[in-house]
């Protein structure tokens, strides 16, 4: 893991060195996705889609542009986003009759149509999602994948007959998150955000956060219970079994390209990024170790091994470039390929291949046991997950009083907003909220001294 002090500079450079993006596009905060980075993002999308399919969500695509009048239907929502939206005011040489905005998130685009799709309780639950780009005019310093102005975004939107069914959905969302982040070897924590920091328009919000090597947290996902806050202004009603009409209860679940930012940051090291095998476009790279005179023999063996690796379902690349093995090692380590296979004359003689995992474990595998590479990938994933989990756990601190600490802290809190904000101020941190699952607290609030039944989680964050 990268040292705390070096992290931000390392991250700034690695995203271009590993050929994930190009930051030279002439609009601040809007980067170009290079082929390797885009492939990673698309592989992450594929994992999301699998989870959505398993849980009966249907994929839709709604227009990018939203009329101003629709955007303004939910009062808190517009308040929360009005500073951040891009406005389309003209088309061709005409000024538009009504201004249009680029979606910063899609509630107000989807919900006018949901009100047409939902008629009866038999239409519920309605479970949809889309993978789109959203646009937010960030005023803070931008950072590739972490704070950008065009955001590759996943958003699930669901409608339910009642609050309880919406709560069940939120439970399902948290289970999806467990499986999803596990596949990416990313340990995370979930917290119910304090009321003063919930999503604009939500009844309550849950944040999913990871801890970066800088000891700052990064929100990589969020789940929102909307209750009927949107269904009322958007008139999303259904006829119940009793023939009466009711407003739906709604939830959303969102994630973004920040997930890639987290993978880069948490698993990376001085040599480059380190990919979980689930999203690595190349899981195994073969580097021939060639000396004059044995070239063809080695290359033939490399080609045979490649075929065998592919035949067990693993993506494999044979690096035939005219470069030294050392230079090749450097390139593939930079790009985070999980396993490197070296094959030289000695390996052939001994009927083995030499493997080195991206986290530095070197061993020989018998030539007739290529199948073992699968196990090696699993073990590699497990190790990088556990390393990150250890780092996360070591940096969560339960405190009894205000004191300067880095990472994530938890302090006894009475639940009052004024005390929570006072803690934020004194700690010079932002509240993440109350952890899920919640832990019992029998202390006194560090601000007012009254009974505290909650631990308030805080951290510095991105």
Of 116 and 292, which has the nearer Cβ to its own copies? Answer: 116
Residue 33 interacts with its own copies (CB under 8 A): yes or no? yes
Rounded to whole angstroms, what are the CA distances from 16 to 34, 273, 274, 336?
A: 9, 11, 15, 13
Pure H helices in 107-251? 107-117, 163-183
Of 39 and 387, which has the nearer Cβ to its own copies? Answer: 39
Rounded to whole angstroms, what are the CA distances from 240 to 117, 157, 249?
A: 15, 21, 13
∠ CA 168-56-238, rounded to 5°: 65
Q: What is the DSSP string of 125-158?
A: SEEEEEEEEEE----SPPBTTTB-SEEEEEEEEE
The minimum distance between CB 102 and its own copies, in angstroms, equals: 7
Rounded to whole angstroms, what are the CA distances from 398 to 67, 248, 372, 406, 410?
A: 47, 40, 42, 12, 5
Residue 27 interacts with its own copies (CB under 8 A): yes or no? yes
Residue 87 interacts with its own copies (CB under 8 A): yes or no? yes
Q: Which of 3, 5, 50, 83 binds its own copies (CB under 8 A)?
A: 83
Of 113 and 352, which has the nearer Cβ to its own copies? Answer: 113
Q: How many residues bind its own copies (CB under 8 A)?
A: 50
- If one counts every other C-beta atom within 10 angstroms of the C-beta of residue 35, the result is 10
Looking only at the bridges linking them, the beta strands covering 150-160 and 249-256 are antiparallel
Residue 251 interacts with its own copies (CB under 8 A): yes or no? no
Residue 55 interacts with its own copies (CB under 8 A): yes or no? no
Distance, CA of 45 to CA of 258 (rounded, Å): 12
Looking only at the bridges linking them, the beta strands covering 150-160 and 189-192 are unpaired
Instruction: Please answer whether residues 328 and 316 qualify as being in contact, where contact means their C-beta atoms are separated by less than 8 angstroms.
Output: no
The minimum distance between CB 227 and its own copies, in angstroms, equals: 25
The minimum distance between CB 93 and its own copies, in angstroms, equals: 7
Within 99-158, the residues that bind its own copies by CB under 8 A are: 100, 102, 109, 112-113, 116-117, 128, 133, 135, 137, 139, 150, 152
Instruction: Provide the token pair at 17.
Output: 């060195």
**Long-range contacts, 3-11 (Cβ 8 Å, 24+):** 3/213, 4/213, 4/214, 4/215, 4/406, 7/212, 7/213, 7/214, 7/265, 8/214, 10/268, 10/270, 11/143, 11/144, 11/264, 11/265, 11/268
Distance, CA of 302 to CA of 28 (rounded, Å): 45
Of 127 and 457, which has the nearer Cβ to its own copies? Answer: 127
Region binding its own copies by CB under 8 A among candidate stretches 92-100, 169-177, 205-213, 395-403: 92-100
Region binding its own copies by CB under 8 A among candidate stretches 23-31, 171-179, 312-320, 354-362: 23-31
Residue 65 interacts with its own copies (CB under 8 A): yes or no? yes
Of 327 and 378, which has the nearer Cβ to its own copies? Answer: 327
Of 49 and 422, which has the nearer Cβ to its own copies? Answer: 49
Q: Which of 1, 64, 396, 436 binds its own copies (CB under 8 A)?
A: 64
Of 25 and 163, which has the nearer Cβ to its own copies? Answer: 25
Region binding its own copies by CB under 8 A among candidate stretches 58-66, 331-339, 406-414, 433-441: 58-66
Of 150 and 347, which has the nearer Cβ to its own copies? Answer: 150
Residue 68 interacts with its own copies (CB under 8 A): yes or no? no
The minimum distance between CB 238 and its own copies, in angstroms, equals: 18
Residue 50 interacts with its own copies (CB under 8 A): yes or no? no
Of 258 and 454, which has the nearer Cβ to its own copies? Answer: 258
Instruction: Tell the burial category of 191 from Cβ atoms under 10 Å away from its Cβ (0-12, 13-18, 19+).
Output: buried
Q: Where are the beta strands (DSSP E) in 161-295?
A: 189-192, 204-211, 217-227, 237-239, 245-247, 249-256, 284-288
Residue 34 interacts with its own copies (CB under 8 A): yes or no? yes
The minimum distance between CB 90 and its own copies, in angstroms, equals: 4
Instruction: Please answer whether residues 243 and 199 qualify as being in contact, where contact means their C-beta atoms are separated by less than 8 angstroms.
Output: no
Residue 84 interacts with its own copies (CB under 8 A): yes or no? yes
Residue 241 interacts with its own copies (CB under 8 A): yes or no? no
Contacting residues toward its own copies, per CB under 8 A:
22, 24-27, 30-35, 38-39, 42, 58-65, 67, 70, 82-93, 100, 102, 109, 112-113, 116-117, 128, 133, 135, 137, 139, 150, 152
């Amino acid at each position: 893991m990268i040292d705390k002090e070096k992290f931000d500079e390392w991250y700034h450079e690695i995203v271009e060195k590993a050929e994930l993006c190009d930051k030279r596009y002439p609009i601040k905060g809007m980067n170009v996705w290079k082929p390797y980075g885009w492939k990673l993002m698309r592989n992450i999308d594929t994992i999301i889609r699998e989870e959505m399919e398993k849980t009966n969500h249907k994929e839709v695509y709604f227009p990018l542009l939203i009329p101003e009048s629709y955007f303004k239907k939910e009062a808190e929502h517009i308040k929360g986003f009005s500073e951040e939206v891009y406005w389309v005011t003209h088309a061709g040489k005409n000024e538009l009759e009504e201004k249009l905005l680029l979606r910063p998130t899609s509630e107000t685009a989807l919900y006018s149509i949901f009100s047409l799709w939902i008629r009866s309780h038999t239409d519920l639950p309605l479970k949809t999602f889309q993978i789109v780009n959203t646009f937010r005019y960030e005023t803070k310093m931008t950072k590739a994948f972490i704070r950008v102005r065009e955001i590759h975004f996943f958003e699930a939107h669901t409608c339910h007959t009642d609050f309880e069914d919406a709560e069940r959905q939120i439970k399902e969302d948290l289970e999806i998150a467990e499986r999803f982040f596990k596949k990416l070897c990313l340990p995370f924590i979930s917290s119910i955000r304090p009321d003063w920091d919930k999503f604009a328009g939500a009844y309550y919000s849950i944040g999913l956060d990871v801890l970066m090597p800088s000891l700052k947290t990064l929100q990589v996902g969020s789940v929102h219970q909307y209750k009927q806050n949107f269904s009322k202004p958007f008139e999303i009603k259904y006829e119940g079994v009793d023939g009466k009409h009711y407003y739906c209860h709604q939830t959303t679940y969102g994630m973004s390209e920040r997930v890639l930012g987290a993978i880069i940051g948490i698993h990376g090291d001085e040599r480059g990024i380190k990919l979980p095998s689930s999203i690595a476009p190349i899981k195994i790279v073969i580097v021939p170790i060639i000396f004059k005179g044995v070239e063809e023999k080695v290359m033939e063996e490399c080609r045979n091994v490649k075929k065998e690796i592919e035949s067990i379902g693993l993506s494999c690349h044979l690096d035939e470039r005219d470069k030294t093995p050392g230079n090749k090692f450097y390139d593939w380590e930079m790009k985070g390929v999980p396993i490197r296979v070296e094959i030289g004359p000695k390996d052939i003689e001994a009927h083995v291949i030499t493997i080195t995992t991206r986290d530095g474990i070197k061993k020989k595998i018998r030539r007739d046991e290529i199948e073992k590479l699968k196990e090696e990938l699993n073990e590699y994933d497990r190790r990088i997950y556990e390393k990150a989990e250890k780092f996360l756990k070591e940096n969560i601190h339960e405190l009894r009083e205000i004191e300067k600490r880095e990472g994530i802290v938890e302090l006894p809190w009475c639940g009052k907003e004024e005390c929570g904000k006072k803690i934020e101020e004194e700690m010079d941190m932002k509240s993440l909220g109350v952890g899920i699952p919640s832990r019992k607290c029998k202390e006194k609030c560090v601000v007012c001294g009254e009974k505290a039944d909650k631990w308030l989680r805080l951290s510095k964050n991105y």
